[in-house]
Chains A and B, each alone.
Chain A
Amino acid sequence: MTAHPHSASAITRYLEELFEVEFTFLHVGELAISLAALAPEDREFLLGWTRRIASTNIQIAYQFALRTIELLDRMDRRLIEAWALHAMDTYDRSGLSSGMRIIKEVENFAHQSHERSAGVVFEEIGGIMLNFVHGLSGRRLKLEPGDAAYTDSETLFLPAVIARMQTAKDNFTLCKAMVAMMWAQTRYGSFRVQLPQLLGAYEDSERALKCFHALETLRLQACIARELPGLYREMQKLRTEVGETFPPDWQDFARELGRTEATVEDSLRLLAEAYAGTSLPSLCYQGELHPEAITDCMTARIAKEKILLRVKLAQLEQEVQKHRSTETSDKPVKFGLQEKPEAESGLTALELTLDGAPIAPPEDVRQLITSIQLDLGEIPPEYLVAAGPGEYDPSLYEEKPADPDDVWQGTYHEEGATLYPEWDYGRQHYRKNWCVMREKEVTPVHDGFRAATLQKYSGLVKHLRKTFEAMRDENRLLKRQSYGDNVDIDALVEALADARDGSEMSDRLFIRMHRTERNIAVMFMVDMSGSTRGWINDAERESLVLLCETLETLGDRYAIYGFSGTTRKRCELFRIKRFDEPYNAEVQGRISGIRPQEYTRMGFAIRHLTNLLKEIEARTKLLITLSDGKPDDYNDNYRTRYGIEDTRKALQEAQRSGIHPFCITLDEKARDYLPHLYGAVNYTVIDAVGKLPFKVADIYRRLTS
């Protein structure tokens, strides 16, 4: 990183430029003076981050600089960084005002937290916490950053930074305790009562909610004490650390709710008494309770899961009927549930039965049953009646992928799309969920393009077939091996003669069969941007036809995708051939149907195709790009260094997953930027469009032999 200026006047000039004061009229004078007074490394740190944020938004950067300058000696560097990134992500997601709110929270946060606090950041621990909560039994919960620790019964929300405790270790434990608490809420049925109605009966429903939450926390922590004693010990330690004790009346509640058989009903029973009292304890790991979020989420889920279970049972029934003999098949089957003898503690393990005999349901049905059981405490009998034909409209329960084109009618949204991050070199960090990517089909065009191409290049095709056939590594016998399946008689005779002769006898007397498997998977990423219109498009299509023909003789696995897009909201990948698709008339039609589209945004395409390649098992994986220019997008900074750096980052990610990227380009200026992207040797520039079909297969041969 370059060194920043250190005199007040130089800093003023630097900031004026950074904040574009000509247009924004921000006052940088005082800021520059305080900056100049800082220790050099603090100044370096602050200016560096301000510059990084300014590449996203100037206002946020300005506020950041103003606020953090006072916090520098009170806050851990790592935390400041986390907040800055959090603010930029929020800005990306929901605009300036939300981003500003986060920046302003830095101050609040710093006031309540300890000096030089060593907090934990969601980014860093989210993965661990998610695995942790999945390891605990029950519904598969999701985990997301939010404003506070609360759950809607499907997703657990955690604050972006947790810094209540002094040390990072304690903060981690606190976070774990919060997660376990929220898990316990879903697991031990805190939400099996109609909270909003019940609380509405109280004059001060806010206080009633708090009381209820505190009572439930007491009950659940007793559950945790029984189920996860190790964690409970840690939770107690946390409480001693922050000095939390219960008022006397609450100690009685704790005793009452600590019984093994206590349920949420007991908490409700004690609610009136607690509400009437004066004290209200709140434990450090208790988080918040948002009854509306829970009710919304649960109502939708309960309705959907009932339908889903009944439909799945109907499918199961059908399957069973198929295997039955014909005479009994008209008798309706009856589903039931029986308790498993070896019940896991707490949640009764249920086994699905069919006409009294236990059957093993598929994993999704098992999870459904668990989820319903968690919501309702039992499986009501009407849930176990298989849905009749046509009883439910499939659209009620099926999650069908939205048609990629429909999404654009009306206000656009991101439903059904895959989101990919993008590297922002100015920020030196990813922009999260930045690209909205959809896979689309290429409409096949059956116009005899393949036949015409084969005709046109008939000589080349013959030549290619011959060279590629020679590449096929055949199984062969290796002679004179020291170990093998069979005796090599020639070697043996020779060795015996040697022995007679008095010279040394070789021990390499065996024949071994050498089997080679050419284990290559290759992904072709074809530029379908508007600039390929005309000759280039024709040449690309011809090259693909020739490639497919030759790859078929070789037997390598390959897939072809086209990429294009307009802005980050519309990144499109066009499926031409998947790995598991045979090279048939349909694929040939699609190759013929490749048409130039929009712009050349590359990062998302590389990331998505890398993911596809990762799923393939192969010793060598190649990602070959056919392109005619550098990364570019509509009215966007993607055509600047930003695009180059993002593409480079995406390629590095691919390499890290063991994929070899290679680029074949028609751009004569490519030598300026391709070495930076692909490395010095991993690209080829083809200077004439007409040569492309001749070259591509040849390059492939060189790459893989």
Chain B
Amino acid sequence: MEAHTLAPEEHFIRDEPYYEPVGQEIAIFEAAYQNKLPVLLKGPTGCGKTRFMEYMAWRLKRPLITVSCHDDLTASDLVGRFLVKGGETVWVDGPLARAVRAGGICYLDEIVEARKDTMVVIHPLADDRRALPMEKLGTLLEANDDFCLAISYNPGYQSVLKDLKQSTRQRFVALEFNYPAPELERKIVSNESGVALEIAEKLVKFAQMTRNLKGSGLEEGASTRLLVHAAKLMTSHIEPVAACQSAIAQALTDDEEMLAAVQELSSSLF
């Protein structure tokens, strides 16, 4: 695929993304979308939240505008700002405003990372008003009927500072994501990377082992995404133990002792 530039609201997903439903999440999302309810995706990293959004955008045939939130993300980064062009100030819409105008799906990834004041601008969009106040323009942008707001949040690394406020979370339809069941995860890993099912099964077993370690040295266990990475390395003829070490163990931790232990676990399995 060649690189090309797109305006965010033109980002339609044309090919069906590979997605295996775990429960009723597709039906619930569709129902929420039809009823103009915003959606909150909860779950650990790499378990398929973003892929699910892509899949839903494809299914609903709406453009997907993703904003990865970071701790310097301000309200104007979402809504828009004045820029200076040739001696004049020009208003430029932010990604959220674009999605509201064009009727796209705006997906705010890892919303808790953003500054507290950004949370407030999405409140009027997330209830039945469905409007975005543009303070600096002094206008109110009413949302296109096709607009949909989705946010994601990882309750795993819950520090007090990074918790979602009740006033925010109680506006959303929440969908919980978790690592898929072993059987399904095996299928996903094999499908995504092209490795044989037996190897995928071992990888899933290995992931289970690292998930056992969560809380006793590891912050998170290996995600499905990491398994796919390791499996892809293996299809390119990397030794399984080396692939697990680079794609999974090193990605999980820097702690020497833990790395050694994870290494031992993977070499025990393969």
Interface membership of B89, Cβ < 8 A: yes
Interface membership of A617, Cβ < 8 A: yes
A137 and B217 CA atoms in complex are apart in Å by 16
**B182 A132 Cβ-Cβ under 8 A:** no
A579 and B261 CA atoms in complex are apart in Å by 35
- Point out the residues of chain A lying under 8 angstroms from B127, CB to CB: none
**A487 B212 Cβ-Cβ under 8 A:** no
Q: How far is the CB of A377 from chain B (nearest CB, A)?
A: 21
**A131 B213 Cβ-Cβ under 8 A:** yes
Q: Which of A128, A231, A342 contacts B268 (CB 8 A)?
A: A231
Q: Which of A136, A228, A486 contacts B81 (CB 8 A)?
A: A486
Interface membership of B250, Cβ < 8 A: no
In chain B between 197 and 226, which residues have their CB closer than 8 angstroms to a CB of chain A?
Answer: 205, 208-210, 212-213, 216-217
Interface membership of A419, Cβ < 8 A: no
Given contacts A135-B212, A487-B84, contact A229 B270 (CB under 8 A): yes
**B208 A134 Cβ-Cβ under 8 A:** no
- Point out the residues of chain A lying under 8 angstroms from B140, CB to CB: none
Given contacts A228-B268, A487-B84, contact A135 B136 (CB under 8 A): no
**A128 B270 Cβ-Cβ under 8 A:** no
**B257 A127 Cβ-Cβ under 8 A:** yes
Q: Which of A127, A128, A176, A344 contacts B208 (CB 8 A)?
A: A344
A389 and B31 CA atoms in complex are apart in Å by 44
Interface membership of B74, Cβ < 8 A: yes
Interface membership of B269, Cβ < 8 A: yes
Q: Which of A128, A137, A487 contacts B261 (CB 8 A)?
A: A128
Interface membership of B251, Cβ < 8 A: no
Residue total for A at the interface (Cβ-Cβ under 8 A)? 30
**B81 A230 Cβ-Cβ under 8 A:** no
**A131 B217 Cβ-Cβ under 8 A:** yes
Interface membership of A193, Cβ < 8 A: no
A135 and B266 CA atoms in complex are apart in Å by 10
A136 and B84 CA atoms in complex are apart in Å by 60
By beta carbon, the residue of chain A nearest B267 is A230
Given contacts A487-B89, A492-B84, contact A131 B268 (CB under 8 A): no
Given contacts A131-B262, A231-B268, contact A136 B209 (CB under 8 A): yes
Q: How far is the CB of B95 from chain A (nearest CB, A)?
A: 15
Interface of B is mostly: helix
- Point out the residues of chain A lying under 8 angstroms from B216, CB to CB: 131, 134, 140
**A485 B74 Cβ-Cβ under 8 A:** yes
Q: Mark A482-503, 1 if CB is under 8 A from B, else 0.
A: 0001110000100010010000
Interface membership of B183, Cβ < 8 A: yes
- Point out the residues of chain B lying under 8 angstroms from A486, CB to CB: 76, 81-82, 136
Q: Mark B68-94, 1 if CB is under 8 A from A, else 0.
A: 000000111000011110010100000
- Point out the residues of chain B lying under 8 angstroms from A131, CB to CB: 213, 216-217, 257-258, 261-262
Interface membership of B20, Cβ < 8 A: no
Q: Which of B74, B217, B268 contacts A230 (CB 8 A)?
A: B268
**A134 B212 Cβ-Cβ under 8 A:** yes
Given contacts A128-B257, A128-B261, A342-B181, contact A135 B82 (CB under 8 A): no
**A342 B182 Cβ-Cβ under 8 A:** yes
Interface membership of A180, Cβ < 8 A: yes
A199 and B23 CA atoms in complex are apart in Å by 52
Q: Which of A128, A231, A234 contacts B260 (CB 8 A)?
A: A128
A341 and B267 CA atoms in complex are apart in Å by 28
- Point out the residues of chain B lying under 8 angstroms from A162, CB to CB: none
- Point out the residues of chain B lying under 8 angstroms from A129, CB to CB: 261
**B265 A617 Cβ-Cβ under 8 A:** no
Taking A132-B265, A135-B210 as known contacts, 13 extra A-B pairs with beta carbons closer than 8 A to each other, sorted by chain A number, are A128-B261, A131-B217, A135-B212, A230-B241, A230-B267, A341-B183, A342-B182, A344-B182, A485-B76, A486-B76, A487-B82, A487-B89, A617-B160
Interface residues, chain A, CB within 8 Å of chain B? 127-132, 134-137, 140, 176, 180, 228-231, 234, 341-342, 344, 485-487, 492, 496, 499, 509, 513, 617
- Which 5 interchain pairs have the tightest Cβ spacing? A131-B261, A231-B268, A135-B209, A228-B268, A127-B257
Q: Could you write out 14 A-B pairs with CB less than 8 Å apart?
A: A128-B260, A129-B261, A132-B264, A180-B268, A228-B269, A229-B269, A230-B241, A231-B268, A231-B269, A485-B74, A486-B136, A487-B84, A492-B84, A617-B159
